Chains A and B, each alone.
Chain A
């Protein structure tokens, strides 16, 4: 298996522009997570889906952030409009969750976002 795939790997954009990050989870996994990593705040969970349904989006910083999972093999995280403070590494992770097991998450390589 190719693992979790994220694109782009690097993104440089100007303040005010829309940014879309993409994630393809491991085939067969039913949970998907979006994280943001910064020096100041560490690894933060932004939102997670179970069976394509958003379960908890309490970590999404504000309305400028939105995430979708239209099917089991694809998810997007969108920032509109982007701001310099959004600069971070964004990770997508997936897992095969079943009650009582399957809590190991498999992370993608991350997207390094720089907003100028």
Chain B
């Protein structure tokens, strides 16, 4: 049973436009959510996170929205840049699980110049 799902394996957008990456989860115990970015031949790197007590967190061009009732979160990148082209992983964790996160399968974002 996959508890964190990223239903879009890939997304292609034009430079300067908005990229929206989506993530759904099933476990209502999750209370902390993270997005990681991964370039080829590198490990994932932390991008942005959000606690379940919030519904929005913004960091520069990156904004994460959380809809707890729908068990859905999304990552918005505005404006998108070619350097944003990477695989984006959504992850979810439970406060008492010693930092363990459950990862989605990832979405490959391609930003075209």
- A residues sitting closer than 8 Å to B (CB atoms) are 4, 31, 33, 42-43, 45, 48, 50, 55-56, 91, 93, 95, 97, 99-100, 102-110
| A92 to B36 alpha-carbon distance, docked (Å) | 15
* A contact residues around B42 at 8 Å (CB): 109-110
* B contact residues around A48 at 8 Å (CB): 98-100
Q: B103 within 8 Å of A by Cβ?
A: yes
B43 and A103 contact, CB distance less than 8 A: no
| A97 to B96 alpha-carbon distance, docked (Å) | 10
B98 and A104 contact, CB distance less than 8 A: no
* A contact residues around B98 at 8 Å (CB): 31, 48, 50, 55, 97
If A103-B49, A105-B46, A107-B43 touch, does A43 touch B89 (CB 8 Å cutoff)? yes
| A103 to B32 alpha-carbon distance, docked (Å) | 8
A33 and B46 contact, CB distance less than 8 A: no
Size of interface on B: residues with Cβ below 8 Å to A: 23
Q: Of residues A43, A93, A99, A110, which shows the largest number of chain B Cβ atoms within 10 Å of its Cβ?
A: A43
| 15 A–B pairs (Cβ distance < 8 Å), ordered by A | A33-B100, A43-B44, A43-B106, A45-B102, A50-B98, A56-B100, A100-B95, A103-B93, A103-B99, A103-B101, A104-B34, A104-B46, A105-B44, A107-B43, A109-B43
* A contact residues around B45 at 8 Å (CB): 106-107
| A107 to B89 alpha-carbon distance, docked (Å) | 13
* A contact residues around B44 at 8 Å (CB): 43, 91, 105, 107
Q: B84 within 8 Å of A by Cβ?
A: no
* B contact residues around A97 at 8 Å (CB): 98-99
Taking CB as reference atom, which chain A residue is nearest B43? Answer: A107
Taking CB as reference atom, which chain B residue is nearest A109? Answer: B43
| A97 to B93 alpha-carbon distance, docked (Å) | 12
| A42 to B104 alpha-carbon distance, docked (Å) | 8
* B contact residues around A33 at 8 Å (CB): 99-100
CB contact list, B1-58 vs A, under 8 A: 32, 34, 36, 41-46, 49
* B contact residues around A50 at 8 Å (CB): 98-99
Shortest CB distance A3–B (Å):
9
